[in-house]
Amino acid sequence: MARKVLVVGEVREGGLRNVSFEAIAAGKLIAEGGEVVAVLIGDSVKELGNAMIHYGADRVVVVENDQLKNYTTDGYSQALLAVIHAENPEGIVLGHTALGKDLSPKIAAKLQSGLVSDCVDVEVAGGNIVFTRPIYSGKAFEKKIITDGLIFATIRPNNITPLEKDESRAGTISTLDVEIKDLRSVIKEVVRKASEGVDLTEAKVVVAGGRGVKSAEGFNILRELADVLGGAVGASRGACDAEYCDYSLQIGQTGKVVTPDLYIACGISGAIQHLAGMSNSKVIVAINKDPEANIFNVADYGIVGDLFEVVPLLTEEFKKIKV
């Protein structure tokens, strides 16, 4: 059954986040041969429309407005609802990011529809669109179908492979004028706390430190390893609580959820709340002095040793491979 599916692109610092392209791939599956319409919301985002088409969107609808420069729930929900009412889609896909987690429940409530959140896989099986999502902090997976009405889902970054970029793909980019009104909050300034570099939730490699790193300076050797691998630095709550790093780096149940190709846990014991944020990583390497540490139960490769010896050695070896 061919469907029209809206895919919301996510813009950060003037560029599209990868999850936008992953959402197009999910949208294509849900559309089952129907039309995938990308939605871009912001203050000057039209020029990003072509990238959405190159990654598989058939058409792009842009809502531009000064008041949409920064994300607010009120502003973006007004813009997205206007596109939904104009396009009348049978499916909607967003990234399961901070923005998607905030916006999608509000939209679902307004439309009185269901929502399947945090999907790590989408497939067509037995005539249904089947979503896979982790439950019980990633210990099990459930498969869900929507039997009636709008097929509305958010997808976890780094899980669904985008289509190959093809610059010969063509499609139209149109603008929808939407009056944004009655904003209850206005973003005056965005102050970045996390260090510049690779976005933690989209990184292919994450080097994470725990209380075993022992100090803020101790994180420097983790940053060096992450830099050599083109990855991002993350942390356990233990490390954040001890003020070795900012809470924006926290991974886990009450922090960020990451699914990189490679997760290197350094001096992290592997508490259940930490595992909730990283146990679905494709390959997990754990470095810990304690051979009984719980992190080894989820690790594909375990190194029992002092991280202050092991991490610099790894950095040196990876440097040699990169040269």
Tell me whether residue 39 or residue 222 sits nearer to ligand FAD (CB atom).
Answer: 222
Strand intervals (E) in 81-204: 91-95, 116-119, 121-125, 128-135, 140-144, 151-155, 172-175
Q: Which of 237, 244, 280, 314 binds ligand FAD (CB under 6 A)?
A: 237
- Number of residues near ligand FAD (by CB under 6 A): 28
Q: Are 314 and 296 in contact (CB under 8 A)?
A: no
- For residue 211, the 8-state DSSP code is G
Number of helices (H) and strands (E) in the chain: give both, helices first: 8, 17
Q: Which of 290, 300, 316, 317 binds ligand FAD (CB under 6 A)?
A: 290
- Restricting to residues 11-70, name those near ligand FAD by CB under 6 A: none
Tell me whether residue 91 or residue 209 sits nearer to ligand FAD (CB atom).
Answer: 209
Amino acid at 69: K
Q: Are 30 and 91 in contact (CB under 8 A)?
A: yes
Applying CB under 6 A, the span of 97-105, 171-179, 193-201, 244-252 interacting with ligand FAD comes to 244-252
Q: How many other CB atoms sit within 10 Å of the CB of residue 321?
A: 8
- For residue 161, the 8-state DSSP code is P
What is the smallest separation between the CB atom of 282 and ligand FAD, expressed in angstroms?
20
Q: Are 165 and 31 in contact (CB under 8 A)?
A: no
User: Is residue 285 a contact residue for ligand FAD (CB under 6 A)?
Assistant: no
Is 67 labeled as ligand-binding?
A: no
Tell me whether residue 47 or residue 309 sits nearer to ligand FAD (CB atom).
Answer: 309
Q: Of 60, 58, 54, nearest to 9 (Cα)?
A: 60
- Restricting to residues 302-321, name those near ligand FAD by CB under 6 A: 306-308
Q: Is the dihedral of CA 49, 50, 56, 59 positive or negative?
A: positive
Distance CA 154, CA 105 (A): 10
User: Is residue 269 a contact residue for ligand FAD (CB under 6 A)?
Assistant: yes
Q: Which two structure tokens, joined as six digits, stand for 20?
A: 């936008």
Tell me whether residue 82 or residue 258 sits nearer to ligand FAD (CB atom).
Answer: 258
Contact track, ligand FAD, 184-213, x by CB under 6 A: --------------------------xxx-
Is 185 labeled as ligand-binding?
A: no
Applying CB under 6 A, the span of 111-119, 144-152, 163-171, 268-276 interacting with ligand FAD comes to 268-276
Where does this chain bind ligand FAD (CB under 6 A)?
210-212, 236-239, 250-255, 267-269, 271, 273-274, 277, 287-290, 293, 306-308
